[in-house]
Amino acid sequence: MNNIPVIAIDGPAASGKGTVAKGLAKALGFHYLESGALYRLVAFVAQRESIDPNDAPALAQVASALQIRFIEDQIFLSGQEVAEQLRVESIGNLASQIAAHPALRRALLERQRAFRAAPGLSCDGRDMGTVVFPDAALKVFYTARVEVRAERRLKQLKQKGLDANLADLSRDLAERDARDAARATAPLAAAADALILDASDLRVDQALDVLMRWARERQIGVTTTAPARGN
């Protein structure tokens, strides 16, 4: 398994890391893992079943029992497509809150590692390069200024017909950043060997160009064929 390359992209909420991680997966023909969706799924079930966000054992049990499938942009929970329901701000905030529980993180760790399959994996999250795949071939900390992230999130929500306020989004993102960075277990932080990319002033295609260049420099996803030898 360790010879299967992994590109691990970590960063704060709404930085756009999922978009570029998915773009890399498509460009390289790799599998894709949005680790945050797993925590959102647990949050979704916890909210639906009125599970106390502080009940770590119950949340870990939910994580272990999840019946999930990812098909392109669709996320299925026990056969029900729930992708859009996972994107609401209340679920994202709850996911950030419950992600601080070590028991929950342990319950999801092996599920995340199981996504590593040939020819490779592109993944995004908060601790992909520091905890889940510490041997990743390329680690990136992908970030953007909080006001830029809030504007991007506002645009996404408006496109979906959802009401949102820029000031509230900025405050929520700043609070999530602080909570994710301060938690004792697997805090949001750049791996020591991660490359840092601030995409505040970059279009998605420009950011992808940078990431593809870094991947090529490390020969990730590059197939080389040895020249035929004469007799």
Q: What CATH number should be reported for the domain holding residue 204?
A: 3.40.50.300
Which helix (DSSP H) or strand (DSSP E) does residue 44 occupy?
helix 35-48
Containing structural domain, residue 61: 6-217
Residue-wise pLDDT tens digits, 149-207:
999 989 988 888 878 899 999 999 999 899 889 888 889 999 999 999 999 999 999 99
What is the spatial distance between Cα 167 and Cα 165, in angstroms, rounded to a whole number?
Answer: 6
pTM: 0.88
Q: What is the mean pLDDT of residues 91-102?
A: 93
pLDDT in tens, 60-72: 999 999 999 888 7
User: Is 226 within a domain?
Assistant: no
Mapped onto helix, strand or coil, the DSSP state of residue 86 is helix
User: What is the per-residue pLDDT for 186?
Assistant: 86
- For residue 51, being part of any structural domain is answered with yes
Longest dimension (CA), the chain: 72
DSSP 3-state of 16: coil
**Domain membership flag for residue 190:** yes
User: Beta-carbon neighbour count of residue 88 at 10 Å?
Assistant: 16
**What pLDDT is stored for residue 222 in this prediction?**
66
Are 25 and 221 in contact by the 8 Å Cβ rule? The answer is no
Number of domains in the chain: 1
If pLDDT is split at 50, 70 and 90, which confidence band does 223 have?
low
